[in-house]
Amino acid sequence: MTEPAVRTPPAPQSTTAGGFRTMMSGFPTGVCIVTCVDPDGTPRGMTCSSLCSVSLDPPTLLVCLRAGSPTLQAVLDSGGFTVNLLHDGAREAAELFASGDPERFRLLPWERAPGAPGPHLVRDAHTIADCKVTLTQRTGDHVTVFGETLAIRRQQERPPLLYGLREFRSWSAA
């Protein structure tokens, strides 16, 4: 009589920043650029893949922003932010805003709609949401910012840009 082979699972490893990053890279997600304007009128923005819907009533989402970033400080100072959901042709914008290049807003088209808390990336976003900060919570090296969505603008009918396994990809309709 043949018995099934018994596999011994690998021993758990202690959590390191690198190990945690590797684990999370196996969870593909959409990509956005969070934008706002600081008190002196300078546009700020950063690439973000930590975005989540929270509530339908009121419509609320959250973004997780690196503590100490100029974008986070501008969001906290202004009380608002804009989420630009990137389409599959916006990889360069995602990389530019992840780089911290101080000239990033001069290198791509954007506009500031009346009353919008942040720049709208008109070429690179498929959808744009303007939000009002309702709550913040610091955890480790990031701050979770909850925002009530005040306005949504559909820009383009294109598939979203995705990020997983440390690569940008487009949505496949397989």
| 173 pLDDT tier (thresholds 50, 70, 90) | low
| Per-residue pLDDT tens digits for 60-83 | 999 999 999 999 999 999 999 999
Strands 51-56 and 80-86: unpaired
In this model, does residue 47 exceed pLDDT 70?
A: yes
User: To which residue do tokens 């999370």 refer?
Assistant: 24
pLDDT at 9: 80
End-to-end CA distance of the chain: 43
Q: CA of 173: how far to CAs of 35, 49, 160, 167, in Å?
A: 30, 21, 12, 18
| 1 pLDDT tier (thresholds 50, 70, 90) | low
Model confidence, pTM: 0.89
Architecture of domain 30-170: Roll (2.30)
Lowest mean pLDDT among 39-48, 136-145, 160-169: 160-169
pLDDT, mean of residues 7-29? 80
pLDDT, mean of residues 43-52? 96
The answer to whether 34 and 50 are in contact (CB under 8 A) is no
Show the tokens assigned to 108.
Answer: 């791509």
In this model, does residue 41 exceed pLDDT 70?
A: yes
pLDDT at 126: 97
**Residue spans per domain, the chain:** 30-170
Evaluated on CA atoms 49, 54, 56, 59, the torsion sign reads negative
Please state, rounded to an integer, the average pLDDT across all residues of the chain. Answer: 92
The answer to whether 147 and 132 are in contact (CB under 8 A) is yes
Lowest mean pLDDT among 91-100, 123-132, 159-168: 159-168
Cα separation, 57 vs 89, in Å, equals 32
pLDDT at 174: 61
| Per-residue pLDDT tens digits for 84-116 | 999 999 999 999 999 989 999 999 999 999 999
